[in-house]
Every structure is written in structure tokens, then in C-alpha cells.
Structure 1
Amino acid sequence: MGRLHVVTGKGGTGKTTVAAALALALARGGKRTLLVEVEGRQGIAQLFETAPLPYEERKIAVSHGDGEVHALAIDAERALLDYLQMFYKLGSAGRALKRLGAIDFATTIAPGLRDVLLTGKACEAVRRRDKRQRPVYDAVVMDAPPTGRITRFLGVNEEVAGLAKVGPVHNQAQAVMRVLKSPQTAVHLVTLLEEMPVQETVDGIAELRAAGLPAASVVVNMVRESLPGEEQLLAPHRHTDQLTGALALAFSHAGLGGARAGGRAERLVAPLLAQGREHAERVALERGLRTELGAQELPVRELGRLSEGVDLPGLYGLATELHDQWHPGEPA
């Protein structure tokens, strides 16, 4: 398994939730993970019910077995100051540039530069070692931009390396691409079992593969539970009519009224069956979308829908689901 986990997905699929759950899952058993946010939305802080994340790595959660999840909201301007200090030793001159607005100007007119800084900071966390030369983090999880622009986001360093033939910029861009295109990196695409997110996921996988970037898995989020008897609900109408009669009779025996009461049971059964049939048709559509995702020849993992919405207990539950699917047979 890689050490940099990039989580992407169409807007509304819950990619930030999946990234947070993955960070918790990877921290199990005493490991340390870093959960990185690059879009400035403070979604991680909201999920973990903590204060907005500063531009510094901060412990935000403890996972099963005393694992630790740290988090970082990367700010492009601060990352540029770090970059200037690291490669050009500007120090106070870099701070003066910030006061003059030069850094904001640079990152605004060159969005590619912003992506270089964001990916570079995450890759630096992957490469970082402690005094014993052990990785500071066992895994880094990035809550990345949406699927529609993930290939450009991850591949921008290759463009920069081609433009700057020599020097620190070239070397840094090459170092980042060595991480992103190596087995250390895994890109996970989050989707729902709906036509548009699935199509965007399929397109995203194709784009990542064409760019030589490591599409690693698909995570299907908010999966509906199947109901008993769905096949009968999808059967031809003559079978449904038989089912309607049988249910009306059962309702009548249960004291809900029958023909003598003006057909109240029949009137009750019909709308219930209509709702059930609508659900069953939805499940049949999802079955076809699962087949389409399976054709991508990537591992597909599924997370259930949280009935109470996403809160901390629900997040830990999703982390357990991910752990169990990544490591079947291991103790929970």
C-alpha cells in the first residue's frame, strides 16, 4: 500500500468524509497519519468538530489502538514562503514580499504555481524523516480537488519541470513527480451509484492512466441497503397484481380492513408497492453502475449511508468499514 493517498471525487460524493475516514483507518494500531486539506474549505475541521486548522500540523484525533491523526490545511502563500526560504534563503526578504502582496499576486496569476506548492508540501511530508531516519508519518492522506481536475492538479509539476530546465524549481518539480508517479502514491476516486458521478469516475480513471498516474481504487459512498423481495417488485405486472392481492389479504387479516371496509387494504397496499417498486428500480440501476465500475479493473470498496448524518461516531464507523475492506480477516 502506498504512503501518499490522494482522495478525489465529484462534488457531493463525500470525498472529504472518505479522506477523513481513510486517515483514521490508516492510523489504526499505533500508526501516525497526516490528513492534508488543499482547497481552503476547512472541511476537515468541521468533520472532527475542532477549530479551523492553522498552517501547521496539529493532532486532531486518536484512532483505534492509539494511532494518531494529524491534520494540515495547506495555504499556498505560506507554502511559497517556505519554498523561498528552503531554496533561496530569503528569510525576512520573503516576509517583505508577502507584505507587498507579491506572493498573492504570484499565486493568483499562476494557478499552476499554486498546485505545485500544494502537491509539493504533501510530498515533503511523505519524504520527511525523524532523527532515526524513520518516516515521520506512516501515511499522508490528501483531500484533493474534484475528479474533473485531479489529473492536471497532480501533473502540473511535470509541466513546470519541463519549463524550468535547471535549478531549484526544476529539481523540486522532478522530486514531486517521482513521488506522485511511484508506488508510494495511490489515487482513490470517490463516487456515488449515480450516473453522473460514475461517468466522471470512469473518465477520471482513464485520464489518470493516460498521464501515468496511479489510479488505485474506487470508493462507492452512501450505498443504499437492499430490501427483501426486490426481485418480486420488479417482476411483470401480473405477478405484482398477485402480490397486491396477497398483501391486501394479509392486511385484512391483521385488522386493517378489506372489501367490507370499502377496500381500505387495497388502497393502502398500492402506494406502498409503488414506493417499493421505485426503490427496486433504483437498486437495479445501481447494479448496472456497479458493473460499469467493476469493468475498470480496480478494487471497489463500498461505504454505507449514515442514517444520522456525518458525525464523529459515524466517521469512526466508516473508518472501521474501510479498514475491514482493506484488511479482511484482521482484528477490528
Structure 2
Amino acid sequence: MSRLQVVSGKGGTGKTTVAAALALALAEEGKRTLLVEVEGRQGIAQLFETQALPYEERKIAVAPGGGEVYALAIDPELALLDYLQMFYKLGSAGRALRKLGAIDFATTIAPGVRDVLLTGKACEAVRRKDRGGRFVYDYVVMDAPPTGRITRFLNVNDEVAGLAKIGPIHNQAQAVMRVLKSPETAVHLVTLLEEMPVQETADGIAELRAARLPVGRVIVNMVRPQVLGAGDLELVGSVPRSAVARSLSSAGLGGARRGGHAERLVEPLLAQAEEYAERYALETEQRAVLAELGVPLHELPLLAEGMDLAGLYALARKLRGQGVS
């Protein structure tokens, strides 16, 4: 497994949930994972049912086997202050710049610099070692921007090339790219079994490959359970309504006489079966499209009871069971 796990996906696919479950899955057996948020939505705090994350690394969960999950919400302004202190030793002058609004101005007019700061903080955590020479974190999982922006977000070296040919920003961008384009990094895309997310996933993989960024896995989220077998699906639309009414009656759902309770259930039941068969056919088509992308595929179920902390741990177990950890 690569040590930097970047998770992207079309909006609405649950990429933050998958990133959090992946961090839990990787933290098994005493390992330590850092879960990084870069979009300022505090989605990680909501998932782990904790207070809003500050700009510091904080332990938010213990994984099975004693592993630990830390989290960090990166603030671009504070990251720039760190950067200014690191390279220019500005100290209180840097804080004065923030009060004047100069930092917000800089990160707004030069979004490439902002992305260098965000990715650079994650890459620094990947490389960081303790006094004994061991990595502080076994894995860093980044809840990254959506698929439509992920390649540009990660390809920071090209973004800042026109801004800084030499100097600290240029050197920082190159250091970041050495991590992002190495086997240390894997970019995973989260999708649903629907046409638009699957197409965006395919386009995202093509863009990542063109930029020579390492594509990891495709994780299909919120997969509905299969309730009808192949034989049953073939019968949908051809089963006599009278036979369905008799079956319902024999199951104790009312008499089969005309106008009885069982007969009133026939039409809604058959309509639901037809809707399921149509959706199943569409999902099968999308699975075939994903299979042609040439990357490992994993599936996570739709949790009928909704997403909570227990559900997050359940998804982590599913990922471990599929060999992601």
C-alpha cells in the first residue's frame, strides 16, 4: 500500500465517508493513520461525531487492534503562515500580514500556491519521522477535492511554474511532486453505479494517467443489495397477476377474491419488481464500464439505517475484508 492515499470522487458519491473508512481500515493492528481534510467543510468532524477540527493533528478514533486515527483540517492561511515562518522566519510579521488580509489575498489570486500549501502539508506528514527514524504516520489519507479538479489540484508543479521559476515556492512544489508522482502515492476515485459518476470517474482516470499521477483503486459506494436472483429477474414482467395474488394469499396477506387485500398489493409489487429489474440492468452496465478501466474495484454497501459512527466502522471492516488494508 502507498503511504499517501488520496481519495477523490464526484460530489454526492460519499468520498469523505470513504476516506474516513479507509483511514480506519489502514489503522488496524496498532498502525497510525492521519486523515487530512483540505476543503474546509469539517466533514470529518461530523462523521466521527466530534468537535470542529482545529489546524492541528488530533486523535479522533481508535481502530480495531489498537490502531489510531488522527485528523487534520488544513487552513490555507495558517498553512501559508507556517510556510512563511519556515522559509523566511517572519514570526510576528507573518501574523501582521494576516491581519492586513495579505495572506487571503495571496491565496486567492494565486490558487496554485494555495494547492502547494495544502498538498505540501500532507506530503510533509508522509515524510515526517520521529527521533528514532521511524515514520510518525504509517499512512496519510487525504479527503481531496472532487474528480473534476483532482488532477489540477495534485499537479501543483505545473500550476506554479509560471509563478515561480526558482526559490522556495518552486522548490516546495518540486518536493511535493516527487511524493505525488512516486509509488508512495495512490489516487482512489469514489463513484456510484450511475452513468454520470461512472463517466466522471473514467474521465478522471484518463486525466490522472495523462498527468502521470498514480491511479489507485475505484471504490463503488452505496451499493444496493441484490434482492432478486438471475432467474427471478427473467420472470419480471411475465408473471400472471392471478398467480401473484394467490401467492400473497397463501402467505397470509389477505384473500385472493377480486378486490381482496392480496389483489390490491399485486400492481404495486409488480411495479416495484420492474423498477428493480431496470435499475439492476443499468447498474450491470456501469459495472462493465468500470471493469474496462483496468484498476482494482471495490464495493461498499448502502447502509439502510444511515451513516453514523458504527456504520463508519462497518465500512472499514468491509474494506479490510476486500484486502484494502
TM band (smaller chain): over 0.9
The residue that corresponds to 1:113 in the other structure is 113
Counterpart CA distance in 2 for 1:201 and 1:15 is 12
Q: Which amino acid aligns with 2:66?
A: D
SS class of match (1:159): helix
Counterpart CA distance in 2 for 1:109 and 1:162 is 13
Q: Which amino acid aligns with 1:296?
A: L
SS class of match (1:7): strand
Q: Which structure 2 residues correspond to residues 160-179 of structure 1 after superposition, within 5 A?
A: 160-161=160-161, 163-179=163-179
Q: Which amino acid aligns with 1:172?
A: Q
Q: Which amino acid aligns with 2:39?
A: E
State the Cα RMSD in Å: 1.6
Counterpart CA distance in 2 for 1:285 and 1:308 is 25
The residue that corresponds to 2:157 in the other structure is 157
Cα–Cα, structure 1 residues 93 and 275, in superposed 2: closer, same or farther, change >3 Å? Answer: same
Instruction: Report deviation, 1:304.
Output: 0.4
- Say which structure is richer in helix: 1
Q: Does 1:293 find its partner at 2:298?
A: no
The residue that corresponds to 1:250 in the other structure is 247
The residue that corresponds to 2:264 in the other structure is 267
Relative to the length of structure 2, the TM-score reads: 0.95
Contact 1:161 1:174 (C-alpha < 8 Å) held by counterparts: no
Contact 1:230 1:277 (C-alpha < 8 Å) held by counterparts: no
SS class of match (1:2): coil
Contact 2:151 2:207 (C-alpha < 8 Å) held by counterparts: yes
The residue that corresponds to 1:85 in the other structure is 85
SS class of match (1:326): coil
Cα–Cα, structure 1 residues 323 and 110, in superposed 2: closer, same or farther, change >3 Å? Answer: same
Match of 1:278 among 263, 275, 278: 275
| Residue-pair matches, total | 324
Q: Which amino acid aligns with 1:78?
A: L
Contact 2:27 2:63 (C-alpha < 8 Å) held by counterparts: yes
SS class of match (1:35): strand
The residue that corresponds to 1:136 in the other structure is 136
Contact 2:236 2:274 (C-alpha < 8 Å) held by counterparts: no
Counterpart CA distance in 2 for 1:183 and 1:254 is 58
Instruction: Report deviation, 1:236.
Output: 7.0
- CA displacement 1:11-39 (0-9 Å, x = unmatched): 11100000000000000000000000000
- CA displacement 1:157-214 (0-9 Å, x = unmatched): 3332464232211111100000000000010100111111111111100100011011
Counterpart CA distance in 1 for 2:256 and 2:173 is 75
Q: Which amino acid aligns with 1:154?
A: L
Counterpart CA distance in 2 for 1:183 and 1:77 is 30
Contact 2:28 2:66 (C-alpha < 8 Å) held by counterparts: yes
Relative to the length of structure 1, the TM-score reads: 0.93
The residue that corresponds to 1:60 in the other structure is 60
Q: Which amino acid aligns with 2:63?
A: S
Counterpart CA distance in 2 for 1:310 and 1:231 is 33
Q: Which structure 2 residues correspond to residues 15-34 of structure 1 after superposition, within 5 A?
A: 15-34=15-34
Cα–Cα, structure 1 residues 129 and 248, in superposed 2: closer, same or farther, change >3 Å? Answer: same
Counterpart CA distance in 2 for 1:287 and 1:41 is 33
Contact 1:60 1:71 (C-alpha < 8 Å) held by counterparts: yes
Instruction: Report deviation, 1:235.
Output: 3.9
Instruction: Report deviation, 1:156.
Output: 2.1
The residue that corresponds to 1:148 in the other structure is 148
The residue that corresponds to 1:311 in the other structure is 308
Counterpart CA distance in 2 for 1:174 and 1:24 is 30
Counterpart CA distance in 1 for 2:324 and 2:76 is 35
Counterpart CA distance in 1 for 2:317 and 2:249 is 44
Instruction: Report deviation, 1:250.
Output: 2.1
Counterpart CA distance in 2 for 1:282 and 1:323 is 28
Percent identical among aligned pairs is 73
Q: Which amino acid aligns with 2:117?
A: L
Counterpart CA distance in 2 for 1:28 and 1:236 is 44
- CA displacement 1:303-329 (0-9 Å, x = unmatched): 00111111010000000101111259x
Contact 1:232 1:240 (C-alpha < 8 Å) held by counterparts: no
Counterpart CA distance in 2 for 1:288 and 1:153 is 31
Match of 2:299 among 298, 302, 306: 302
Cα–Cα, structure 1 residues 208 and 252, in superposed 2: closer, same or farther, change >3 Å? Answer: same
- CA displacement 1:47-80 (0-9 Å, x = unmatched): 1111100000000000011100000000000000
Counterpart CA distance in 2 for 1:109 and 1:296 is 36
Q: Which structure 2 residues correspond to residues 183-194 of structure 1 after superposition, within 5 A?
A: 183-194=183-194
Instruction: Report deviation, 1:240.
Output: 2.4
Counterpart CA distance in 1 for 2:54 and 2:250 is 64
Q: Which amino acid aligns with 1:258?
A: A
SS class of match (1:204): helix
